[in-house]
Amino acid sequence: MSKVTKYFMKPLLLSILFALFFMQTTAWANQEPRILIENDGYKLAKYEPRQGLYIGAYVLQDSLINYDMAKFNELTGKKHASFFRYVGYGQPFPEDWFRDLQEVGAVPHIAWEPNDGLDVVQDDTYLRTFARKLNESGVPVFLRFASEMNGDWTAYSGDPEKYIEKWRLVHDVMAEEAPNVMMVWTVFTFPQSTILTYYPGDEYVDWVGVNIYNVVYHNDSIRHRADHEDPLELLDYVYNTFSERKPIQISEYGATHFTITDNMEYVDFAIAKITRMYEGLKTRYPRVKSIFYFDVNNIVDGVANRQINNYALTDNEEILTTYAGLISNTHYLSDIRENEEGHYDQELFLVQEGICSNQGTTYISSHAVRKHFGAQVTFQSSPKQLVITKGAKTFVLPVGEKPEANAAFISNGTSYVPLRIVTSELGYKISWNGAENLILVTR
């Protein structure tokens, strides 16, 4: 049970919080459907699983379980594929921890942080030796170098040009010395405006990550409530921007169940947010291929300036049971798959190029037809019609002035076609998940 059980939230407030969450999670009922279309032209990244996602965690500050990864696996009822730890750039290679990982059958994920600034990152003995030791480990390694650079709280933010230079240096050394390393470029969920300025380029990144936390208040300020934030919406920017070309990793995720900001417990809040995240990933975000839970009570075990929230799973039976139930699903993988980098795979990609619905018919833009189905779309003016061609297959849709079930239409210069007709004509299958307002289009 929680170490802070002397603080209780009034039942009415808990009910209100849960009701707000329920309204939030069912809000998509009034939104356009989420459409995922199977694409067979994607090449797998390094150690990317074809299906499912790796489960991982951070437990090295969980004093309640004596920082024990095996104990964490026991309590959660499932072996985790990976655990992570922070290593300051310049610190020794964590050999003891690598041995501990072998005992629990997990692979390492290192958050390697140049906390003395980027100038210390050089092609020198330290970098080369660290890389060689990573290679000698003989296992796949997630290397999350200089993450959360998009914020202003790290010693390596503020100079995107230098950041990219140093990232590429580390990448190139790892490519030479440690081909078992996956370079994971990880941002914080906000600010979003600076994210792209720090991106080193597709050829220098294996996985793209994002750190996401659900808290009741931002910055320990009672004036800055954050309990309305949806963890999946916090994922959206990174997912929408990068998921078509890189596997996505949630490098850190946590949901608070107690905060010193108001000295109140939020167990139902944590359960709702964790459930929303781990359930949503299974169906709505298929390009997320790994997630790491931040199992720490920062109030007790955190660094001095972060002793605000309790994210631990292990000190609350309800939350622990919820998490264990969620990851018991076979979608959550306990072992790293073999490396099939460069092999083609059928992946589900999100349609972002224009969706609209009218009287039960879902339409997608002609741009989406070109991109996701590989078809040509040609407009003819007399009579008004769209000619859609893919290989030897050609079909024609009349173009009307407004949405009709069996015709295309044009709005603000963009043509839209009924998804049902396109999938049928091009030999795809379509399935509908009404509970999640989700459409799957597969071969």
Instruction: State whether 359 and 332 are in the same domain.
Output: no
Tens digit of pLDDT for each residue in 116-128? 999 999 999 999 9
Residue 53 counted as domain residue: yes
Same domain, 235 and 359: no
pLDDT tops 50 at residue 15: no
Q: Which of 339, 360, 395 represents a domain boundary (last residue)? A: 339
Half-sphere exposure of 170 (CA within 13 A, CB side): 28
In a domain, 403, yes or no: yes
Assess whether 327 and 356 both reside in one domain. Answer: no
Q: How buried is 363 (Cβ within 10 angstroms: 0-12 exposed, 13-18 middle, 19+ buried)?
A: buried
Reported confidence tier of residue 31, pLDDT bands at 50, 70, 90:
confident
Q: Is the pLDDT of residue 262 over 90?
A: yes
Query: Are 200 and 294 members of one domain?
Result: yes
Same domain, 177 and 317: yes
Calculate ∠ Cα 205-230-42, nearest 5°.
Answer: 35
Tell me, what's the pLDDT at 12? 39
- Residues 332 and 356 both lie in one domain: no
> In this structure, are 203 and 287 located in the same domain?
yes
Does 388 lie in the same domain as 331? no
Q: How many domains does the chain have?
A: 2
Q: Indicate the residue among 280, 310, 339 that finishes a domain.
A: 339
In a domain, 299, yes or no: yes
Which pLDDT value is given to residue 10? 35
**pLDDT per residue as tens digits for the range 87-109:** 999 999 999 999 999 999 999 99
Q: What is the mean pLDDT of residues 13-20?
A: 42
In a domain, 3, yes or no: no
**Cα of 240 vs its chain's centroid, Å:** 10
pLDDT over 50 at 83, yes or no:
yes
Task: Verify that 218 and 313 share a domain, yes or no.
Answer: yes
Residue 304, pLDDT above cutoff 70: yes
Q: Would you state the pLDDT for residue 6?
A: 27
CATH number at residue 406: 3.30.457
85 within some domain: yes
Q: Range of 152's domain?
A: 11-30+45-339
- The pLDDT, as a whole number, for residue 27 is 46
Same domain, 358 and 262: no
Asked if 152 and 200 sit in the same domain, the reply is yes
pLDDT tens-digit readout, 333-387:
999 999 999 999 999 999 998 999 999 899 999 999 999 999 999 999 999 999 9
pLDDT confidence band for 3 (50 / 70 / 90): very low
166/211 same-domain check: yes
pTM of the model: 0.92
- In sequence order, the 6+-apart residues with CB closer than 8 A to the CB of 350 are 34, 35, 36, 239, 240, 243, 244, 287
* pLDDT at residue 298, as a whole number: 95
